[in-house]
């Protein structure tokens, strides 16, 4: 979830990103956020959002005018909302600008309720949990304006006022109290009601996490449908926020595209496919297979029940049949690997025919070794290639061969161990 939030912030191109985390948790966050330049600030005890901001302020770079504060559980945050908030904050010249949404009471639980005068001017923010009995109903409203946990502050002002926060009965210092301080001091406070925050979901339990994911997927599906991506069943199609698709792509049932996957034009994926952090060129077909960290050239066909792992590169017009695993290997153009094969730590040339059941035996129990296969090689069914090994251009292996030594160009070998038959 934090990755969604940080990605949205990063796309807004801030000068600095500060994340407040508990002591001792740096490895967990660094693992997930390693692609971003982040300053981590440590909160010794969970003393509330106000204390988190106080900790973050110690790390704000010199001469910064504005500070955007985002709740870490703002799973549905959009970059556009951050940019709109910043623009309004600067236009209004406010010391505080807060982002709000208008929701029915059923959606207000767990959020801060805006208490206003009859002229709609803000008095304070009161946490939902602080209303007792029927006090909330006593406000006589069907809808409530709520704080969604996204603020803009004038940096000199917040540095001068953060120490004025007082501890609540919950033992926490709350960032929302800064608005009351500003109002009491007759400073300018602006309310920004964003059209993008119609679902102000904060995540505090598994149900809320599931609700946020459901809403996020709905947004992503709508977006990709609107730009010309076709889906057999949108409700069973899942996207990561950093996925890039092209118009004309067709996605079958029960398919997930994750990470930084990029898909070209005229591509068909699925059904029952999972693609992560892979780049797919134009006019490719991927069936019910799993791809992770794979680069795929144009007009490639990958059929069903295949696993293509990190470091795999398929050149143009490669054909992968069924039940094939490829790992950290480069496959040349027009090469066929039809079925029941394992290709690991290998480089295959062009127009290679890999028969059923071919295995590159790349691990000797302690180290991985490379296999090199030249252009126009024919590997008979059930061939075992014991690495490290090189197969020259145009060479052939008989069915069931166990090849333990390099094979020269144009040579045919067969047997266990394989021996030369002709030249």
pLDDT 10s digits, 267-310: 999 999 999 999 999 999 999 999 999 999 999 999 999 999 99
* C-alpha angle 257-262-265 in degrees, rounded to nearest 5: 105
List, for residues 141-162, the tens digit of each pLDDT value: 667 788 888 999 999 999 999 9
Residue 332 vs residue 115, higher pLDDT = 332
Q: Identify the band that residue 136 occupies on the pLDDT scale cut at 50, 70 and 90.
A: low
Q: What pLDDT was estimated at residue 379?
A: 98
Q: Is the pLDDT of residue 74 over 90?
A: no
Q: Identify the band that residue 318 occupies on the pLDDT scale cut at 50, 70 and 90.
A: very high
Q: Identify the band that residue 140 occupies on the pLDDT scale cut at 50, 70 and 90.
A: low
> Three-class SS of residue 130?
helix
CA dihedral 306, 308, 309, 310 (to 10 degrees): -170
Q: Is the pLDDT of residue 133 over 60?
A: no
Q: What pLDDT was estimated at residue 50?
A: 93
Spell out the domain ranges in the chain: 2-197, 213-422
Q: Which CATH class is domain 213-422?
A: mainly beta
- State the fold for domain 2-197: Spore Coat Polysaccharide Biosynthesis Protein SpsA; Chain A (3.90.550)
Nearby residues of 226 by Cβ (< 8 Å), 6 or more positions away: none
CB atoms within 10 A of CB 193: 12
* Mean pLDDT calculated for residue range 384-396: 98
Are β-strands 230-231 and 325-327 bridged in parallel, bridged antiparallel, or unpaired? unpaired
List, for residues 255-278, the tens digit of each pLDDT value: 999 999 999 999 999 999 999 999
Report, in angstroms and rounded to the nearest whole number, the Rg of the chain calculated over CA atoms: 29
Q: Is the pLDDT of residue 134 over 60?
A: no
- State the catalytic residue, choosing from 32, 89, 339, 369: 339
Q: What pLDDT was estimated at residue 423?
A: 58
Contact between residue 39 and residue 18 where contact means Cβ atoms under 8 Å apart: yes
In the block, tokens 């590997």 appear at 379
List, for residues 203-255, the tens digit of each pLDDT value: 777 887 888 889 889 999 999 999 999 999 999 999 998 899 999 999 999 99
Contact between residue 358 and residue 374 where contact means Cβ atoms under 8 Å apart: no
Q: What pLDDT was estimated at residue 380?
A: 97
Examine the residue annotation and report whether 339 is marked as an active-site residue of this protein. Answer: yes
pTM: 0.81
* Mean pLDDT calculated for residue range 377-386: 98
Q: Fold match between 2-197 and 213-422?
A: no
């Amino acid at each position: 979830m934090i990755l969604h939030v940080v990605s949205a912030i990063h796309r807004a191109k801030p000068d600095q990103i500060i994340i407040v985390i508990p002591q001792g948790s740096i490895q967990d966050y660094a693992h997930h956020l390693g692609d971003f330049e982040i300053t981590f600030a440590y909160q010794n005890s969970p003393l509330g959002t106000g204390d988190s901001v106080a900790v973050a302020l110690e790390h704000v770079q010199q001469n910064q005018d504005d500070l955007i504060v985002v709740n870490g559980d703002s799973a549905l945050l959009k970059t556009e909302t951050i940019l709109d908030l910043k623009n309004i904050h600067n236009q209004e010249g406010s010391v505080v600008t807060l982002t709000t949404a208008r929701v029915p009471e059923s959606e207000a639980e767990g959020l801060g309720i805006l208490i206003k005068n009859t002229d709609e001017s803000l008095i304070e923010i009161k946490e939902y949990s602080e209303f007792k009995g029927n006090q909330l109903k006593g406000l006589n409203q069907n809808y409530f304006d709520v704080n969604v946990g996204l603020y803009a502050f004038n940096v000199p002002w917040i540095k001068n006022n953060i120490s004025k926060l007082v501890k609540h009965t919950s033992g926490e210092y709350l960032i929302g109290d800064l608005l009351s301080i500003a109002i009491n001091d007759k400073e300018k406070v602006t309310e920004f009601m964003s059209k993008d925050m119609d679902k102000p979901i904060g995540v505090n339990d598994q149900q809320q996490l599931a609700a946020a994911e459901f809403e996020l997927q709905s947004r992503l599906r709508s977006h990709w449908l609107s730009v010309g991506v076709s889906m057999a069943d949108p409700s069973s199609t899942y996207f990561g926020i950093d996925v890039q698709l092209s118009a004309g792509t067709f996605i079958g049932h029960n398919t997930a595209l994750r990470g930084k996957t990029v898909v070209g034009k005229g591509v068909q994926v699925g059904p029952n496919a999972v693609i992560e952090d892979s780049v797919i060129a134009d006019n490719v077909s991927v069936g019910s297979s799993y791809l992770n960290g794979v680069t795929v050239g144009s007009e490639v066909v990958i059929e069903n029940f295949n696993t293509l792992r990190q470091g795999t590169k398929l050149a143009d017009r490669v054909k992968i049949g069924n039940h094939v695993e490829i790992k950290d290997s480069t496959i040349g153009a027009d090469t066929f690997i039809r079925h029941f094969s394992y290709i690991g730590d290998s480089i295959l040339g062009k127009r290679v025919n890999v028969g059923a059941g071919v295995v590159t035996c790349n691990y000797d129990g302690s180290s991985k070794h490379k296999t090199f296969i030249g252009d126009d090689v024919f590997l008979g069914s059930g061939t075992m290639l014991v690495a490290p090994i090189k197969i020259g251009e145009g060479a052939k292996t008989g069915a069931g061969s166990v090849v333990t030594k390099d094979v020269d160009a144009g040579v045919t070998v067969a047997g266990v161990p394989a021996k030369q038959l002709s030249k």
